[in-house]
Amino acid sequence: MAKIESVEGTAETLANADGGILAIDPKVDVDIKMHARNPVMATLSRLADVAGAQLARLTFKVEIKGPGAAYSASVVPALAKYLRACGFAETLDVTPGSEKATYKPASTGAPCLTIGCYEDGVIKQLVGARGNVKFTGKAGEPVFAEFDFLGVWGGLTDGAMLTPTYESTIPPVFLSASFTIAAYSAILAGIDIDMANTLHLRNDVNKPAGYLSTVITNRDPNGKFDPEMALVATHDWYGRWKGGTTGALSLGNIGSTQYNRYKITAPKVVYRKVSDAEREGVVVADTAFQLAMNTGDDEVVLEFS
């Protein structure tokens, strides 16, 4: 469950309407800073530590899929608010018959979330949370968005399980993806794209947990894939790396059904490292890459249509 905060760092009340996402492997990791007290005394015994500032991380992953209905202000992918809290700006095109929802990186305006993790009648809460997202795809499987949120620890309470309406669409699988890099149709088994956001918790002595909220202070979008090695004349992996040559990346559409299909594009990909490897006896160019800006706030685009 998550809700965009109307006041930064102030917890929202969560309701059924704030659910709807099918989270996989959610895990909350609480960190309460414990401060040792070790004054000079006539004993080797220690005084009790003092509890201080309180933060928490929440990690989980979700299938990337659409809502199955025309996009509008009230109909967006279930993961939309989580993407926005990871620094993506949302743009909706509601042209009848060709509606779409587009997500691009933004340098300002990312909302923060109150997030509740419900575990058999116990609620773990993060407040003022923002995060990072990594997209991971393997051939023949659904593509996942892996989220890592950092926030103020909002405490542990007892509470009844909510009953949200979950997004019922079936996720499209990573097939017939029309993948190209620099106009070359590389043969690969999978791809990872990491927004690599830098997260910073804002200290605040006026708050009971010692923090106000998390902010995104930087990002370094990057990724990796494992294409089969090609002839130099076809695609010069090492030459492009050596020359710092940029090329556009295009992936998708993944899925063929309207309102449950999406594509990922990036205008300028730069190879950072190319290594010899093999995949079941096939030589591959194990490649790490940067997603660079074109005009700014456009390193990668996720478009649902």
Cα-trace Rg, the chain: 22
The CA distance from 10 to 29, in Å, is 20
15 contacts 163 by C-beta, under 8 angstroms: no
CA 201 to chain centre: 18
Look at residue 212 and give its three-state secondary structure: strand
Residue 167 is predicted with a pLDDT of 84
- Structure confidence at residue 65 (pLDDT): 97
63 strand-pairing partners: 144
DSSP 242: H
**Bridge pairing between strands 113-119 and 197-203:** unpaired
Task: Break the chain into its structural domains and give their ranges.
Answer: 2-33+53-304
What local confidence, expressed as pLDDT, does residue 19 receive?
86
Residue 41: phi, psi to the nearest 5? Answer: -140, 165
Rounded CA separation 75/66 (Å):
10
pLDDT in tens, the chain (305 residues): 999 999 999 999 999 988 889 999 999 999 999 999 999 999 999 999 999 999 999 999 999 999 999 999 999 999 999 999 999 999 999 999 999 999 999 999 999 999 999 988 899 999 999 999 999 999 999 999 999 999 999 999 998 888 888 888 999 999 999 999 999 999 999 999 999 999 999 999 999 999 999 999 999 999 999 999 999 999 999 999 999 999 999 998 999 999 999 999 999 999 999 999 988 889 999 999 999 999 999 999 999 99
pTM: 0.93
Nearest 10 degrees: Cα torsion 247, 251, 253, 259? -100
DSSP, collapsed to helix, strand or coil, labels residue 98 as coil
Q: Which residue has the tokens 């542990």?
A: 156
